[in-house]
Amino acid sequence: MQQESTAFLRFVSKWERSTLGPFRCGRFRLSERDCWLLTSGMGVKRATQAARALLTATNPQLLVSVGVAGAVHADLEIGDVVAARHTCLLDKGIPGQFQPLALLSDAAWQAAAKALQPRRAGLYWGTAVTTRGSQVVQTQPGQMTNPVLEMETAGIARVAAEAGIPLLSLRAVSDGPRAPIPFDLEALMDEQDNLRIGEIIKTVIGHPQMILQFLQMGRNIRRAAENAAIALIAALRQPDSVISP
């Protein structure tokens, strides 16, 4: 989302605005690395298209899926960051095949965890469960530790695997059992994974008590997006940031 990109670029001292096909792009350097930040929009389809557009334009050594996600369990706090060991696509509540992801190196993990300490947020290993809307995870295999629900990583992972490029996933918790989304996200999205703003407005008008929940959700998304950015930047500043799967 644009909120996630904007939060990330606030922590980059100098960057250039660009486009890559239909996608907005911010370009910058970080510890002698050339970095491209694409705003794909929500959903597997857009994330897959953005990853393919990036691979057409450049030859990256690493892809990253970064942003916010929803915690499945209540043991993760708002703002905690999950580094996913695996990703899978959720279909009707059932997790699909697990795809291994790149892991943070020990140095990168320590740097990211330290950067999150002043914000009272933790860093955890987990699983990026890619879904559409707010599906419930009906079954959880043993390797599904600290699952977080998001809408893009599995699509990017497929492109990364085809190209033989490692993919890192860092997602910060913006909602979950402790702070649920105050509406059925899937019911308010169209077939192209666009939020139907008119439906959201009607929902709020019909339930004015939700206004405070919306405001709190916005604050949680901002905090989570900033934490994901802080953790990723700290990790990428290390010479050897990731371990390929």
Question: Is position 97 within any domain?
Answer: yes
Hey, how many other C-beta atoms are within 10 angstroms of the C-beta on 10? 10
Q: Do the domain assignments include residue 33?
A: no
Q: What is the CATH number of the domain that holds 229?
A: 3.40.50
* Domain annotation covers residue 12: no
Structural domain contains residue 6? no
Domain that holds residue 200: 63-243
Within-domain flag for 196: yes
Does residue 55 belong to any structural domain of this protein?
Answer: no
In a domain, 210, yes or no: yes
At 172 the pLDDT is 98
pLDDT in tens, 187-207: 656 666 666 666 666 776 777
Per the structure, the count of domains in the chain is 1
The residue ranges of the chain whose pLDDT is under 70 are 133-134, 142, 182-201, 204
Q: Does 26 map to a domain?
A: no
Q: Is the pTM of this model over 0.85?
A: yes
First and final C-alpha spacing in the chain: 27
What residues does 82 pair with on adjacent strands?
A: 124, 171
